[in-house]
């Protein structure tokens, strides 16, 4: 008799289409809040089903992720092989900070009220067990443009290629069907950006502004955003991630920017892109877009499969969580000593106390 065919892993809606609205919540778990977080996990899909049934045209999709330290506080057993704290990058000019984040909730829909309702149901259940340290409401800007005026996400993989780029396969059984997520909030210097001519802006990005065509290799600068975000493997094949970026803005706070959300089956691909941007490739250069776009947050999460959320593993034993593994040599970010991560629950975004030096 042949062995039974295993049931396919049910994944979270990582590869869901881009929508008109999004709410991104990053939260820390308060001391003693672990049980409340664990108890709500099996109900997350029910929240989405209840709201989605009422407004089926909204295309509600919700992804939940966990930071490295939170994983060890919440779950016993094997941990995702490549999950580790986000590593700060200090380049010659710009910095990618590492900021607090135990939980990520990425909520997408065609209507903001639907995103709000899901977040309201979630936070109502969690109560004081968590503290929201970053809340961003994103919106679609015309034909998928960012606030710099360029189309964002043109080279995103689609279909099976998107799944291969974003979803962990059987090579890592402990996290098969999951995805690694890097999130960063970037604030734009729109006044400085708008002083550039269109041609200068195009050389910074590496694409034409109005037609969204990539510049020819002999025209595209080596320090353009497109050039430095192209990562190839040892075999010369280009390695992809799935971006779910959204513009955001607040006239009251005077903050306008892009919320970067990068899903990947292997976080080292996203991390290599960031090293290229901040440390340079070759070292000593940097992505020109960073002269006008400042990273103020940075966190790495793992979004496990939907099956995992429906039936989480037991909590860790009272003896203590599994030790967080050190990054492997291939995952090292910088030879500089990382600055301590803020742990008071505040990202200090409004005052830009976490901003990179100009």
Q: How far apart are CA 60 and CA 19, in angstroms?
A: 9
Q: Which of 152, 223, 240, 266 is catalytic?
A: 152
Whether 160 is a known active-site residue: answer: no
Q: What is the dihedral of CA 142, 61, 274, 191, to 10 degrees?
A: 30
Residues designated as active site = 152
């Amino acid at each position: 008799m042949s062995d039974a065919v295993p049931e396919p892993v049910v994944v979270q809606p990582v590869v869901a289409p881009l929508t008109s609205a999004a709410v991104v919540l990053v939260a820390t778990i308060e001391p003693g809040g672990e049980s409340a977080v664990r108890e709500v996990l099996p109900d997350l899909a029910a929240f989405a089903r209840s709201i989605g049934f009422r407004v089926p045209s909204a295309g509600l999709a919700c992804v939940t992720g966990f930071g490295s330290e939170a994983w060890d506080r919440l779950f016993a057993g094997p941990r995702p092989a490549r999950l580790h704290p986000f590593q700060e990058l200090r380049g010659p000019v710009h910095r990618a900070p590492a900021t607090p984040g135990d939980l990520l909730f990425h909520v997408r829909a065609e209507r903001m009220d639907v995103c709000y309702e899901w977040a309201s149901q979630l936070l109502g259940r969690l109560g004081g067990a968590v503290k929201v340290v970053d809340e961003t409401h994103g919106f679609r800007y015309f034909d998928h443009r960012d606030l710099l005026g360029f189309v964002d996400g043109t080279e995103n993989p689609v279909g099976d290629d998107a799944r291969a780029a974003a979803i962990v396969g059987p090579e890592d059984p402990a996290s098969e069907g999951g995805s690694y997520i890097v999130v960063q909030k970037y604030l734009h210097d729109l006044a400085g950006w708008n002083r550039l001519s269109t041609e200068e802006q195009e050389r910074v990005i590496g694409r034409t502004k109005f037609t969204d065509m990539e510049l020819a290799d002999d025209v595209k600068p080596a320090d353009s955003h497109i050039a430095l975000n192209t990562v190839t493997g040892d075999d010369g094949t280009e390695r992809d991630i799935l971006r779910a970026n959204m513009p955001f803005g607040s006239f009251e706070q005077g903050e306008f920017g892009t919320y970067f959300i990068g899903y990947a089956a292997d976080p080292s691909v996203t991390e290599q892109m960031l090293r290229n941007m901040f440390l340079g490739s070759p070292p000593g250069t940097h992505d020109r877009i960073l002269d006008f776009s400042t990273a103020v947050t940075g966190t790495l999460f793992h979004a496990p499969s939907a099956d995992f959320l429906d039936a989480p593993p037991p909590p860790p034993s009272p003896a203590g969580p599994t030790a967080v593994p050190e990054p492997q040599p291939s995952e090292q970010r910088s030879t500089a000593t990382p600055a301590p991560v803020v742990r008071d629950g505040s990202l200090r975004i409004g005052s830009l106390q976490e901003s990179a030096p100009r």
